[in-house]
Each structure stands twice: as C-alpha cells, then as structure tokens.
Amino acid sequence: MSVVVTYPALKRVALAGGTHGNEMAGVVLAKYWMKNPAELQRKTFIGNTFISNPRATEKCVRYIDFDLNRCFTSKMLNTSATEDPSYELSRAKELNKIYGPKGSSDAFDLLIDMHNTTSNIGNCFIPMATQDHLTMQMLNYVQQQSLFSPCRAFIADLPLEDAFSLDCVGLHGLSFELGPQPQGVIRGEILQRMRGLVNCAYDFIDLFNQGQHFSECQVEGFQVTEKVDFPRNADGEIEAVIHPDLQDKDFLPLHPGDPIFLTLDGETITYNGDSVVYPVFINEAAYYEKKLAFWKTKKITVTVPPIQVQKN
Amino acid sequence: MSVVVTYPALKRVALAGGTHGNEMAGVVLAKYWMKNPAELQRKTFIGNTFISNPRATEKCVRYIDFDLNRCFTSKMLNTSATEDPSYELSRAKELNKIYGPKGSSDAFDLLIDMHNTTSNIGNCFIPMATQDHLTMQMLNYVQQQSLFSPCRAFIADLPLEDAFSLDCVGLHGLSFELGPQPQGVIRGEILQRMRGLVNCAYDFIDLFNQGQHFSECQVEGFQVTEKVDFPRNADGEIEAVIHPDLQDKDFLPLHPGDPIFLTLDGETITYNGDSVVYPVFINEAAYYEKKLAFWKTKKITVTVPPIQVQKN
C-alpha cells in the first residue's frame, strides 16, 4: 500500500491558448472563455484564461521571431534583455513574471496549455513530468472518461531547468495536443474534444480541491527515445515524404522492415531498427523546420501513488 | 453532329508549383521535376517547370505581401510599378512577361498550376474557362481515368480580363487543386495523385499534338453561385465553426435545413436556402482572411465539341 501524497489545493489555475498562433482550437476557445468565463467556473477555484502569443495569434502564424514554446528553459528566462531581442523571448519573460516564476513557490498552481497538430494524434496529454503525481493522476482521470478514449500520454520528462514549454512555468503543468487539424483551421470536432478535455481537467481539480482521494493507479505513456528527420539533399531539402503506410499511424507499433519514407524517385525506405517503436507527431507541419519527421517513442507504464489535498 | 474545333499543336507548355508557397504538393514536385525533367518529357513537347513564388516557397508561407494568385487581372498587370510595390505584383508582371503576355498570341500554349487545400476536395480540376474546348476536353480525358475518379471540376468562368489566377496567362490554362492537405505538409498520397494528374494531362497534350480526335462529350462541373462567410462578431472574429456534419462534405448536396455552422454557444445554424447547393472549399485555411467559409455551387453539364489539332 503506497503512502498518500498530499498537495495544497489548486487555487491559482491558468489556461493558455495561442502559444502557437495558428493552432486554432486553443486560440478560438481561449478568446471565447476570456469573454464567457462561466463555463470554466468551479466551486473551489476560478481559472484564468489568456492568449500567450497575441501577436502571432493576430497574424495567424506559429510565431513572430522564435517559437515561444521553446523559450521557457531556465537559461533562456535568465538571459538579459539585450542578449535576445526577439518578441517571443521578451513575452516569455513577461509570462514567467505573471504565472511563475518557474520553479518558485510564487508560481501558479497549475498551467494548462492548448495545442493542436497536423499529425493524427487524437487526444494527447503531455504532462510536465511523470514525477508530478498530481498531473499524472489527472491524466489517469481523463483517460478513464470514455468520451476521450483513447487519450494518450506523450512523455518527454526533461529536468525542470531544461523544460522549454510554457506549462512548466506552473507548479504543475500539462499540454493538451489534439489532432489532426491543419494550421489556421478550426474543425468542429477538434473544438468539441478540446472543450471537453479542459472541462474534464477542471472537474478533476475541483474534486481534488474538495478532498477526493485518488487511488494508486497505473498510467500508460509513450516516452520519447529518438528524433527522426526526413531524408534530405545537400541543400537541406527533403528527398522523401512520409510513406503512405506510416501516415496517420501515430502511437501505433512500427516494426523492423515497415515502410517509413517514400522517395521522390519512388523508392520505399523501411525502418531498420531491431525492435518495435511507436512513432508520434508524424508529419507535423511545424516540425519540418525542426528537422523532425516523427518522434520514436517506447511504451511505458508509470505507477502513480495515491494523492489527496493537504488539510488546512 | 458538331463541327470539329481545331487548335494549333501545344508546343510551349509550362507547369507551376509554389504559387502559394505553403502548398507543398506543387512545391515539392516542381522542385523535383526542375532537376529531373525526364518524367515529363513527351514526344511532341517538353514542358517547362517553375516555382512561381520563390520567396513565399522559401519561407513556406502562402505569400509575402499579397496573394500572387489574385494578381493576374488585366488591370493589375497593367498598373505602373510605382502604384503597388508588393513583391507578388512585381513577380506577377515578370511571370506575365515570360509566359504571357496574357491574352496575346505570344503567350505559352498551356499553363498548368498545382495547388492544394485543407478542404476535403479530392481531385479537382479548375479550367480557365468552359468556353476553352481544349481544356474541357482535357478535363474529360482526366475524368475518364479511373485512377483519379472522381475528378471534379470547379467552375468560376470569369471574363479573361477579370480572371486573376496565374493559369490564365497562358492561351489555355487550368489548376489542379488537391486536398485535404494541411499547409506546410506533404502527404504521400496527395503527392502521388498530383503526380498522376500532371502526367495524365501531359499524355492528353501529347495525344492531341499527334492528331488524335477527341469526340464531343458532356462534362459535369460545379459552378460558383455564392460566397458564404463565417458568422462573425463586431471585431470580425468568427463566432461559429463549420458544423461537424458539413465538414469534409465538399461537392456533396446540401439541403435546406441541413446544419452548416455550430456556434461557440453550442447552437446549430442551418442552411436556409430553398434549393440544393453543393458546397466547395469548405474550411480552407487561407480563406478565413478572405471571409469565406465555403463556396456555394450548382451542378452543371457542359457540352464540349469535338477537337483536333490543326494540320500544318
């Protein structure tokens, strides 16, 4: 029997959209909830909804100068203003002042960030850290709701100082990543799923704050092992595309010998590893410039201890 | 029995990709064919492949200053250089010099432009004009190939001087519009379909040039009748999304009373017309800024007379 882990009640909760200004589920919902907050009110807390990258959202682009969601490492947040004059880095520092500072007890209790992807990722939950039992219990709670089944967990598990995404500014943090949805487009069913997931996460927080005990659980996740780039020519241009047999197969097993790329000359390139992997973020538009065709992941199971709110 | 219409052989044929720099099927194929032209060589002509908007292609954006594919009206091509200093308008004039001038006998015989859309449009052929019997016979030829079935025709049929797209610079012109594909992404099956369609069009030209007689035919098309915008608030922001029941239903009948939008408050907005229409370009990313949620079209049938190449 595991010892119950306790956390203070989550009173200061923030929800971000538009960290990438062309990921429209978060943009549209954040704007709506900023004007119509009633839907997200709960007995024990009132969430704070905001647009994290207003200029990129205004222009419907991912970012203006630099990817905002790569700006939140401790090193970047601690650069002097003159070292990097990019809009996004200065905005990251501003957000860190409001919702952080990252890693300090002054930070917001929870920060949720809404993203979407062109990959066929379905419902995906990206916890800040598997060692954050509260976030992992929330993940388990969401996964148990049949409405969102399956809701997979994408696990990067970086040390806090290296964690680069907005959500890691909170004491607890996570991103919802939904797909497939083109950049600049809002699809009704993606909007409805994102809306349901945020409400479900808020319900969990409310139950937690009210004293509900969450039992020990086993949570399945997909842990990043390796980055795979497209085959490229000397000019850096892609020479092959994701093979149609791999396209849209996020989170499904890829076996040695399975097709992964199709060259423009018509040649199939197969996966030459020696064990099964689970590709994720296959053919995400924003990752071409990051030299990333997909992530290889392995399936893991995380045992999460029981949690309960700290008594006053 | 219709009189056979004759046209000179098509010797000067050009193929464009990257008119919109983030529509990747055309971008990737044009770059490939510029380096590897053998696949597009035919007995009777050699096509010329080019990137129409190199700066937008380099940045993987639709355009730099202004949508290039709206620059080819006679009025815009005839503005003086000082009236509009946008990159795209100056590039349009440059392209008009190389492949046109539009409407003159010096123009290229045929200009094909490769596009894709986030809409679920399948294979779509956009002829410059239904009165251009050669292009319409090519459309019929493509539609008869089961590989591309269905290949629908989207008909705008603007007077030549008002026609704004690159393909109208040629004596004959058309665009291939394939979807669904997110901006900035190349999907293998879209690439293969675009490749097949261009090769099929080139086969048709080669047969025509060699003297094949193409009989009178009936061609089905979808003719634009009206533009429909998203419901918007006073700030111009969308207040409703494409209804999930309409999403991805391009070219399918929309009946009076069918859902078209879903508001953020959860209300369904229905189509209040009094006859069936066929929505096309539903939820195309680039059309949000053009205030266009979808085009209403009506189904038409065009009778195309027989054609044959002019004897020397």
Q: Tell me the pLDDT tens digit for each residue of A179-201.
A: 999 999 999 999 999 999 999 99
Are B97 and B211 part of one and the same domain? yes
pTM: 0.96
Residues 6+ apart with CB under 8 A from B285: A182, A183, A184, A185, B118, B182, B183
pLDDT (0 to 100) of residue B81: 72
* ipTM of the complex in this document: 0.94
Q: Confirm whether A173 is domain-assigned.
A: yes
Strand-strand pairing, B122-127 and B172-179: antiparallel
Cross-chain Cβ contact B247/A187 below 8 Å: yes
Q: Confirm whether A62 is domain-assigned.
A: yes
Number of structural domains (chain A) is: 1
Specify whether the CB–CB gap between B205 and B42 falls below 8 A. Answer: yes
Mean pLDDT of A103-124: 97
Mutate to test the interface with B, among A120, A185, A237, A260 (most CBs of B within 10 A): A185
Are B200 and B71 part of one and the same domain? yes
Mutate to test the interface with A, among B241, B282, B292 (most CBs of A within 10 A): B241
Are B231 and B206 part of one and the same domain? no
Contacts for B81-87: CB closer than 8 Å, 24+ residues apart: B87/B55
Cross-chain Cβ contact B244/A189 below 8 Å: yes
The CATH number of whichever domain residue B257 belongs to comes to 2.20.25.160
Domain that holds residue B161: 5-220+303-309
Cross-chain Cβ contact B60/A288 below 8 Å: yes
Q: Confirm whether A195 is domain-assigned.
A: yes
Q: How confident is the model at residue B82 (pLDDT cuts 50, 70, 90)?
A: confident
| B contacts of A31 (beta carbons < 8 Å) | 237
Out of B118, B180, B187, closest to residue A283 by CB: B187
The CATH number of whichever domain residue A102 belongs to comes to 3.40.630.10
Q: What secondary structure, in 3-state letters, does B201-265 show?
A: HHHHHHHHHCCCCECCEEEEEEEEEEEECCCECCCCCECEEECCCCCCCCCCCECCCCEEEEECC
Q: Confirm whether A298 is domain-assigned.
A: no
Q: Confirm whether A257 is domain-assigned.
A: no
Out of A183, A188, A264, closest to residue B182 by CB: A183
Are B181 and B283 part of one and the same domain? no
Are B210 and B267 part of one and the same domain? no
Mutate to test the interface with A, among B36, B185, B189, B268 (most CBs of A within 10 A): B185
Cross-chain Cβ contact A118/B185 below 8 Å: yes
A192 touches chain B (CB under 8 A): yes
A vs B, Cβ pairs < 8 A, gives 91
Q: Confirm whether A147 is domain-assigned.
A: yes
Cross-chain Cβ contact B184/A288 below 8 Å: yes
Cross-chain Cβ contact A244/B188 below 8 Å: yes
pLDDT at A1 over 70: no
The one-character DSSP state at A168 is G
Are B127 and B274 part of one and the same domain? no
Nearest one of B165, B150, B161, B185 to B24, comparing CA atoms = B185
Specify whether the CB–CB gap between A264 and A233 falls below 8 A. Answer: no
The pLDDT tens digits of the residues spanning B43-58 come to: 999 899 999 999 999 9
A83 touches chain B (CB under 8 A): no
Are B172 and B258 part of one and the same domain? no
Mean pLDDT of B248-263: 98
Q: Is the dihedral of CA A13, A19, A25, A29 positive or negative?
A: positive
Specify whether the CB–CB gap between B111 and B138 falls below 8 A. Answer: no
Q: Is A293 helix (H, G, I), strand (E, B) or coil?
A: coil
Cross-chain Cβ contact A242/B118 below 8 Å: no
Are B170 and B25 part of one and the same domain? yes
